[in-house]
Amino acid sequence: MYVYDQVDRTIVAERVAQYRDQLRRFQAGTLSEDEFRPLRLQNGLYIQKHAPMLRVAIPYGLLSSTQLRKLATIARKYDRGYAHFTTRQNIQYNWPRLEDTGDILADLASVEMHAIQTSGNCVRNITSDEFAGIAPDEILDPRPMAEILRQWSTFHPEFAFLPRKFKIAVSAAAEDRAATAFHDIGLHLEKDDSGGIRVRVLVGGGMGRTPIVGVVIREDLPWEHTLTYVEAILRVYNRHGRRDNMYKARIKILVKALGPDEFARQVEEEWVHLKDGAGLLTREEYDRVAAYFVAPAYATLPSVDAAQESRLADDAPFRRWVGRAVRPHRVPGYRAVVLSLKPTGVPPGDVTADQMDRIADWAERFGFGELRVSHEQNVILPDVRLSDLHVLWQEARAHGLATANQGLLTDIICCPGGDFCSLANAKSIPIAEAVQRRFDDLDYLHDIGEINLNISGCMNSCGHHHAGHIGILGVDKDGAEWYQVSIGGADGSSAGRGRSAIGKVIGPSFAADAMPEVIARLIETYLALRTDGERFIDVVERTGIAPFKTRVYATPVASSQPAEEAADA
Amino acid sequence: MPEIILRDRVVADPWQVLRPEAGAAPELPAGPVLVPLATWLDQADALVGRGDAGVWIASHEDPATLRAWLDRLPLVAVDFPKFTDGRGYSIGHLLRTRYGYRGELRAIGDVLPDQLDYLRRVGFDAYAVRADKDIRDALRLLTTFSEPYQNSWEPPLPAFRRVARGQVTELPR
Ligand code: SF4
């Protein structure tokens, strides 16, 4: 993985010093709350319901075991012994003290980590494919370009006060595992006929109040122009994006208002001035960065392990876990293992300090000391030998990390919601738990098959509800918490057959205690309608939402909360 | 007299910023004055002759409209109505890199110490730090990041073209 050189170290050290100075001035009263807010947000620090929340970047989802141990130490030393993985390859601490935040940043810097631009109206953490470098369907490794973009976007002097937040995702495989169509910029790296890298540029995707699937504005951009092209997009957006209404300030609104063709024309017009300038990437720099991502020293292993085969045959729980947790690897004899952070009763994406230490140990014993985090809020051990799977599974079981629900209904993407987040309209974690309790029968879960259930506590959509095959959105009506249900969303991954789509709302909202039954009715409808091999998302695609809607609203769903007024739909 | 930061020093500043009420015909005071873009475009010939008139651009205005005058303007200011309005950074950058302006480029309005490093890098060389802030303390924030990654006006080359990268002794983990 990438290792900081003197330039990276200096920047992160100077950031810590800058932040400490800002915090000192805030505490001394020479920096007002309004003045400090944008500064601390660009350092990932929110003031939440109970305490500050600190969001730390995990660039393109890649972590070393050393870094994960440090994250565990920070959780123990400054927080309550746990942390939360987000849907954007970040990790959040929910209970740090404001006065400790400078020290936390210094601790992070000691392992080449930071919280730079994890919030605020700036370019956020660059995200990518959690299986980068190991996926059999990979066209090329997206991480060098993601790292180059990380550096380019870090403290870019012109783009620190954009109209709104700005998210960039990079994908370079046949399957889009980075939800690129839901980002302000999505980049697809491809190879041209002569082996050179070409970039497809999508803009204007996003969730939030106005969910939009991104559109392609450029095909076949030669790789060396990536930074200048992104700069051109950002300059057009910085100058012309709306600043009068925060709900209309994302680039997607500008792209929609101008039309993609006109937006693309303005970008090209700007880019003409930049394309062969100083920002043109050099082969030398690309190769320098790419050298950090060369494959580790894999052993030559048989592609089948006899002991593994017999355990699979004999041990049903192990077999079931392998069926969900284990993903293909490009190197024979190796597999990627997705550790589910979604056991029933634990907030999705939460991990304890002890678990972090264990996972770091496994990354070393069963791999090359490297880990990944996914936008599905799970952790991945990327390089496990087939012959180690059984012992890993046994140890993972002992630490609550062997739930076999990856990609299934209970592998819920869920934001912190009303339990923590001060922007929330409703709680989301208890909804996830209630659904997990209702669907606690693993056989039934496996029978239901691949499905994405995503929950957000408000329109900010941190839980990606728009892209869920089933999406749940917390809404506030006269001070009470309600939940709006949509179906048919898809994030571009193979779970939804590669489609990127926004879910459609099925009707009036429900009370919290009705949600397990509502989900159960959606699932029953699917099971009744499915033909061979059809997933939930396929049936929704084929039939539309009508049969689901009919079934869900056929009879009132029992709830202790007074029914929503019909006019409120 | 009010003070500003000019390049790396605090200096007394004689320039008045003319902010006429909407619709009112601006009265031009004697002495160095910064007029709004519309006033400049209206009376440019007379103002150029004065020698002590400059222009300020609002964040929604297009700096390209000034192109014909840039080599005769002693001072161009860009207004930051709120420090979170980042359009001025692009305006400053365009004035320097695209339109070739070489005179004093000043940030006015809601200019706070923590912006100075970014402002300097996109091309500003004068900063009318908001009056309630300690302008001398702000000086030390002019260069917060000593070796930035990206090219802008300053530095004109990105780190990968400017310094030898990859100088670390330990091996990749
Ligand atoms: S979706 Fe809303 S409630 Fe959930 S974490 Fe984001 S802002 Fe908070």
Tell me if chain B has a CB within 8 Å of the CB of A35.
yes
Are the Cβ atoms of A152 and B151 closer than 8 angstroms?
Answer: no
Asked whether residue A332 is assigned to any structural domain, the reply reads yes
ipTM of this complex prediction, to 2 decimal places? 0.96
* CB < 8 Å & 24+ apart, contacts of B24-31: B28/B53
Contact by Cβ (8 Å): A179, A493: yes
Tell me if chain B has a CB within 8 Å of the CB of A111.
no
Which 54-73 residues of chain B touch chain A by CB within 8 A?
Answer: none
Tell me if chain B has a CB within 8 Å of the CB of A32.
no
Tens digits of residue pLDDT in A124-157: 999 999 999 999 999 999 999 999 999 999 999 9
Which 49-68 residues of chain A touch chain B by CB within 8 A?
Answer: 64, 66
Asked whether residue A192 is assigned to any structural domain, the reply reads yes
Ligand 1 touching residue A460 (CB < 6 A): yes
Res B168: pLDDT: 64
Partner residue opposite A7 with nearest CB, options B93, B119, B159: B159
Tell me if chain B has a CB within 8 Å of the CB of A266.
no
Mean pLDDT score of chain A, rounded to an integer?
95
Res B166: pLDDT: 86
Contact by Cβ (8 Å): A504, A473: no
Res A568: pLDDT: 40
Best residue for ligand 1 mutational test, from A462, A481, A484 (most atoms within 8 Å of Cβ)? A462
| Cis upstream peptide for B155 (omega within 30°) | yes
Ligand 1 touching residue A348 (CB < 6 A): no
For residue A1, which residues of chain B lie inside 8 Å, CB to CB? 172-173
Residues in chain A: 569
Asked whether residue A404 is assigned to any structural domain, the reply reads no
Whether the per-residue pLDDT at A564 is higher than 60: the answer is: no
How far apart are the CA of A71 and the centre of ligand 1, in A? 23
Q: How far apart are CA A238 and CA A122, in angstroms?
A: 10
Tokens of B173: 């983990």
Tell me if chain A has a CB within 8 Å of the CB of B148.
yes
**Do residues A379 and A442 share a domain?**
no
Asked whether residue A554 is assigned to any structural domain, the reply reads yes
How far apart are the CA of A429 and the centre of ligand 1, in A? 11
Res A567: pLDDT: 38
**Do residues A343 and A385 share a domain?**
yes
Q: How far apart are CA A52 and CA A41, in angstroms?
A: 11
**Do residues A418 and A548 share a domain?**
yes
**Do residues A57 and A170 share a domain?**
no
Q: Which residue of chain A is at minimal alpha-carbon distance from B87?
A: A239
Asked whether residue A128 is assigned to any structural domain, the reply reads no
The domain segmentation of chain B, as residue ranges, is 3-142, 145-173
Query: Dihedral (C-alpha) A356, A362, A367, A369: value to the nearest 10 degrees?
Result: 40
How far apart are the CA of A456 and the centre of ligand 1, in A? 6
Query: Dihedral (C-alpha) A239, A244, A249, A254: value to the nearest 10 degrees?
Result: -60
**Do residues A242 and A269 share a domain?**
yes
How far apart are the CA of A320 and the centre of ligand 1, in A? 33
For residue A39, which residues of chain B lie inside 8 Å, CB to CB? 114
From the CB of residue B61, how many other CB atoms can be counted at a distance below 10 Å? 17
Whether the per-residue pLDDT at B173 is higher than 60: the answer is: no
**Do residues A276 and A142 share a domain?**
yes
**Do residues A417 and A531 share a domain?**
yes
Architecture of domain B3-142: Alpha-Beta Barrel (3.20)
Tell me if chain B has a CB within 8 Å of the CB of A166.
no
Whether the per-residue pLDDT at A569 is higher than 50: the answer is: no
**Do residues A425 and A394 share a domain?**
no
Contact by Cβ (8 Å): A421, A381: no
Beta strands in A353-449 (DSSP E): 370-373, 379-385, 413-414
Tens digits of residue pLDDT in B120-129: 999 999 999 9
- Which helix or strand (DSSP H or E) is residue A105 part of? helix A101-109
Mean pLDDT confidence for A163-189: 97
How far apart are the CA of A422 and the centre of ligand 1, in A? 8
**Do residues A282 and A345 share a domain?**
no
Q: How far apart are CA A159 and CA A145, in angstroms?
A: 19
For residue B89, which residues of chain A lie inside 8 Å, CB to CB? 157-161, 238
Are the Cβ atoms of A157 and B156 closer than 8 angstroms?
Answer: no
Give the pLDDT band (50/70/90) at residue A158: very high
Tens digits of residue pLDDT in A237-267: 999 999 999 999 999 999 999 999 999 999 9
Give the pLDDT band (50/70/90) at residue B20: confident
Q: Which atom of ligand 1 is nearest to the CA of A457?
A: 3
**Do residues A148 and A200 share a domain?**
yes
Q: Which of A92, A109, A126 is the last residue of a domain?
A: A109
| Count of domains forming chain A | 4
Are the Cβ atoms of A288 and B160 closer than 8 angstroms?
Answer: yes
Structural domain boundaries, residue A205: 134-293
Give the pLDDT band (50/70/90) at residue A89: very high
Tokens of A55: 């969001």
CATH number, domain of A484, equals 3.30.413.10
Q: How far is the CA of B23 from the CAs of A35, A202, B19, B59, B80, in angstroms?
A: 32, 43, 11, 19, 21
Partner residue opposite B163 with nearest CB, options A7, A66, A157: A7
CATH number, domain of A70, equals 3.90.480.20
Q: How far apart are CA A516 and CA A410, in angstroms?
A: 12
Q: How far apart are CA A36 and CA A431, in angstroms?
A: 35
Ligand 1 touching residue A207 (CB < 6 A): no
Count of CB pairs separated by less than 8 Å, A with B: 120
Q: How far is the CA of A156 from the CAs of A21, A96, A165, A441, in angstroms?
A: 20, 28, 14, 50
For residue B118, which residues of chain A lie inside 8 Å, CB to CB? 155, 157-158, 160
**Do residues A164 and A38 share a domain?**
no
Res A478: pLDDT: 85
**Do residues A436 and A486 share a domain?**
yes
Whether the per-residue pLDDT at A565 is higher than 90: the answer is: no
Ligand 1 touching residue A487 (CB < 6 A): no
DSSP state of B58: -
Asked whether residue A492 is assigned to any structural domain, the reply reads yes
Best residue for ligand 1 mutational test, from A48, A455, A460 (most atoms within 8 Å of Cβ)? A460
Asked whether residue A123 is assigned to any structural domain, the reply reads no
Tens digits of residue pLDDT in B35-88: 999 999 999 999 998 889 999 999 999 999 999 999 999 999 999 999 999 999
Q: How far apart are CA A506 and CA A550, in angstroms?
A: 9
Res B26: pLDDT: 73
Asked whether residue A378 is assigned to any structural domain, the reply reads yes
